[in-house]
Amino acid sequence: MLLLHETESQLGIISMLTKCISDSRRSSSITHSVNELNTLRVFQIACGYEDCNDSNSLRIDPAMKIALGRLPETGLDLASQPTFSRLENMITRRDLYRIADGIVDHFLASYVEPPEVIVLDFDDTEDVVHGHQQLALFSGYYQETCYQPLHVYEGFSGKLITTILRPGKRPGSREIVSYVKRIVERIRQKWPDTILVYRGDSHYSAPEVFAFIDQQNDCYSVTGLTRNALLLKHVETLIKHVKQQPAGFKRYHSFMYKAESWSKPRKVVAKVEMTDIGKLNVRFISTDMPEAKAKALYEEIYCARGNDELCIKDHKTYTKSDRTSCHRFLANQFRLFLHSAAYVLLHSFRSNMLKGTSMATATFESIRLKILKIGARVIERKTKISVQLPTAYPYQSIFSKCLAIFEHLRRQPWPPPTIS
């Protein structure tokens, strides 16, 4: 908890959330501030307590109290579940718009200098619901009643750009291009010369997006492409050749192609391979980078989209961001933003504090179990608080390194440098 507190003091992701929320409560009746509630909720999520009900037992936890600036024994108890439920249902649509813009701005502020290239990875995932949540729909693809939130990450670093809760259906072309426009315009306001690359699977191969990208400077796209009879006809000869080869054999072929809905032709790369089980596999991608070589374009640029799946796994599996159990859709969107803040917190901690250690590539779950949730004795004295850690703790060196880094950052002149 102390490490999370120090990480937040450098990042400011939770304080950004607080500034975006208009507190409509009666001031004379307030015991817990909005910033305290947001901080406590995000810290709990980061530590693996994704349910508001967990707050009922954690409100007296000494480590949680210290992280919130309260004395561990004599300090006032923290907020309970009903208080968090009221907070979630207090959030308005305007608050959510401000938070969405704030998350993108926080992503931009995480860079010390404008990067040369930014990759915008778009993808959605299922969020199965249990109950009668607003806008939850039955998905024929997943065979579940669910939401399908959109996740956007930066392809090289894995930094979160935004998460948007959506009804349980795949987004249409107009919806996709509205998100792309908003993100690209926001980035261009701060980084006019950065090269932007839009990347997604075949469902994000929307002609409206291609038309918008064509109008931008230094903006490109690489997307999957659903195969059809016309595309297969371009690789008939290659398919016949590959069918005669042993398992594991594959070849790439590129050609120019224009669908009826496209404003101009695009380069298409076909991958034709015999899988390890001897089955033919034909896939297509499209791009507006005609000079890129076919193999490098597919294997090094498009296939790197798999990192986006790992980011969604961290976000969904390890921070439990699919715990959208409120009835109101707006409350569930706010919950998703809270889990997104926990993702930013843990991702930054791993990327900066654990760099060069054995935990540098660990999952959030491993970091939580080995670094964050450590047994300790907390003693409240008259002039100080003593935290006695176990001498047999196997990750002492990593923990001490993190503390040393934070001690150094605390000594820097104000304002402290932002963790990148």
| Mode of pairing for the β-strands spanning 195-200 and 117-124 | parallel
pLDDT band of 334, cuts 50, 70, 90: very high
User: How many Å apart are CA 257 and CA 208, to the nearest integer?
Assistant: 17
Element (DSSP H or E) covering residue 295? helix 294-296
Q: What is the pLDDT of residues 312-322, one digit of tens each?
A: 999 999 999 99
Residues 6+ apart with CB under 8 A from 88: 52, 326, 331, 334, 335
Output the pLDDT for position 196.
97
| Mode of pairing for the β-strands spanning 144-147 and 137-139 | antiparallel
Q: What is the pLDDT of residues 389-402, one digit of tens each?
A: 988 999 999 999 99
User: How many Å apart are CA 10 and CA 141, to the nearest integer?
Assistant: 42
Using the predicted structure, report yes or no on whether residue 350 has a pLDDT greater than 90.
yes
**Residue range(s) in the chain whose domain bears CATH number 3.90.350.10:** 94-318
Q: What is the pLDDT of residues 269-297, one digit of tens each?
A: 999 999 888 789 999 999 999 888 999 99
> CATH for 94-318, among 3.40.50.620, 3.40.190.10, 1.10.220.10, 3.90.350.10?
3.90.350.10
User: How many Å apart are CA 21 and CA 44, to the nearest integer?
Assistant: 20
Output the pLDDT for position 417.
45
283, 224 contact by CB (below 8 A): yes
